[in-house]
């Protein structure tokens, strides 16, 4: 597996693949990989000639500096997992490499980034949109893969791709869960034992909650509200 650390070498590598007519599948991540990420790599492996993964902890999507500082960084073990899963190349830039100059782009997502998680993390989804745009412009994939776990983020990315008319197809993949139902997440590593013990209870409650007439909760469809 090839390790790419600069934008220039990544663009050169991609340009060669494009000249050869190779279809590129891309999986953007922030590292600290788990089986959820690997399921995306395997899906991309099945559907594309070349699979590229990015590992970049994006500072501009963090509201809390402590959260950024404590985010797990495990590039060596991540690279081993990617190699075993059949990934062809990993793009792992530094912050300076990704942002030689501050990117002050402000996206207008209407209410999409102001509800749910966005209500409590102002600017978070704008930072996500900025980094995904940069990554798509650098890697120039034919297909990009996202898990459904971060559904609001996925909706924001779809909107951004549509707004900018980026030439990429978005494929969504099912959530991968632990045996007790907790969605796999890099941040699970930071849970204390007592926190990890109660974390799956929300999912259990949602699964077992009686469905109200009209579907969803009180007839509301979260998917439709976000997509509107």
Q: Which among 98, 152, 162 has a CA at the least distance from the CA of 130?
A: 98
Bridge partners, residue 90, by sequence: 3, 53
Cα 117 from Cα 122, distance rounded (Å): 9
In Å, the largest CA–CA distance within the chain is 55
**Options 13, 34, 37, 134, the catalytic residue:** 37
Rounded to a whole number, what is the distance in angstroms from the first to the last CA of the chain? 41
Bridge partners, residue 117, by sequence: none
Q: What is the CA radius of gyration of the chain?
A: 18
For the record, the structure tokens of 172 come out as 């969504």
Bridge partners, residue 217, by sequence: 220
Active-site annotation holds for 37: yes
Q: Which residues are catalytic?
A: 37
């Amino acid at each position: 597996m090839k390790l790419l650390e600069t934008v220039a070498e990544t663009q050169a590598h991609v340009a060669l693949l494009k000249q050869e007519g190779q279809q590129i599948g891309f999986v953007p991540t922030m590292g600290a990989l788990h089986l959820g990420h690997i399921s995306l790599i395997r899906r991309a492996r099945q559907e594309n000639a070349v699979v590229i993964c990015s590992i970049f902890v994006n500072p501009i999507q963090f509201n809390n500096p402590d959260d950024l500082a404590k985010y797990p960084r495990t590039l060596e073990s991540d690279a081993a997992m990617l190699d075993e899963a059949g990934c062809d190349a990993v793009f792992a830039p530094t912050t300076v490499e990704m942002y030689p100059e501050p990117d002050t782009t402000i996206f207008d997502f209407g209410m999409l980034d102001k509800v749910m998680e966005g209500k409590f993390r102002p600017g978070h989804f704008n930072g996500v949109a900025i980094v995904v745009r940069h990554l798509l412009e650098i890697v120039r994939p034919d297909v990009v893969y996202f898990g459904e776990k971060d559904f609001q983020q996925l909706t924001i990315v779809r909107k951004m791709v549509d707004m900018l008319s980026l030439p990429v197809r978005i494929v969504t993949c099912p959530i991968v869960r632990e045996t007790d139902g907790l969605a796999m997440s890099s941040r699970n590593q930071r849970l204390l034992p007592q926190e990890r013990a109660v974390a799956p209870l929300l999912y259990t409650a949602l699964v077992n909650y009686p469905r109200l007439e009209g579907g969803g909760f009180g007839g509301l469809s979260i998917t439709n509200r976000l997509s509107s």
